[in-house]
Amino acid sequence: MMKKTNAARILDRQKISYQLAEYTVDENDLSAEHLAEVSGFPVEKVYKTLVARGDRNGIFVCVIPGAGSLDLKKAAKASGNKKVAMVLMKELEPLTGYIRGGCSPLGMKKNYPVFIDEPAFELEEIFISAGQRGLQLRLAPADLQKATGAQVVSLT
């Protein structure tokens, strides 16, 4: 039996359907592309969680396709900021409680605003981090939106 993460418990409390999926972690390659390769998950369904800081509204979270890149201008517009930068790696754990490669948009230390990239909603399901390396949550994008209160915007 896989250990439930905080992210999974949040979904349980909200009676949201999901599956936990394990994969083998490669500390030297935490990319979504590599995760898809070793897990067999379709790469277009693997989404990554990025944490950014805006000059006006502070920390926020972006969920984008794993193979994509965050467009900082679009992220700034979506989050009501003029300028946006990715948080530094050393800040990730103090801010979110998560480490790189295991950062979930669910169950962070604080409820930061979450934005999900629009293409997710063309898919029946996506994979996001369950909050630890080696574990993914498989769920419908609309359920992730419901669980996080996310806004759906263009980010890539």
Q: What is the CATH number of the domain that holds 85?
A: 3.90.960.10
With respect to residue 10, please indicate whether it lies within any of the assigned structural domains: no
With respect to residue 62, please indicate whether it lies within any of the assigned structural domains: yes
Domain that holds residue 25: 17-153
With respect to residue 131, please indicate whether it lies within any of the assigned structural domains: yes
What is the token pair recorded at 117? 């990239």
One-letter amino acid for residue 11 of the chain: L
Q: What is the pTM of this model?
A: 0.96
Task: Provide mean pLDDT across the span 2-31.
Answer: 93
Q: What is the pLDDT of residues 74-92, one digit of tens each?
A: 999 999 999 999 999 999 9
- 138 with 87: CB under 8 angstroms? no
With respect to residue 12, please indicate whether it lies within any of the assigned structural domains: no
Give the count of domains, the chain.
1
With respect to residue 6, please indicate whether it lies within any of the assigned structural domains: no
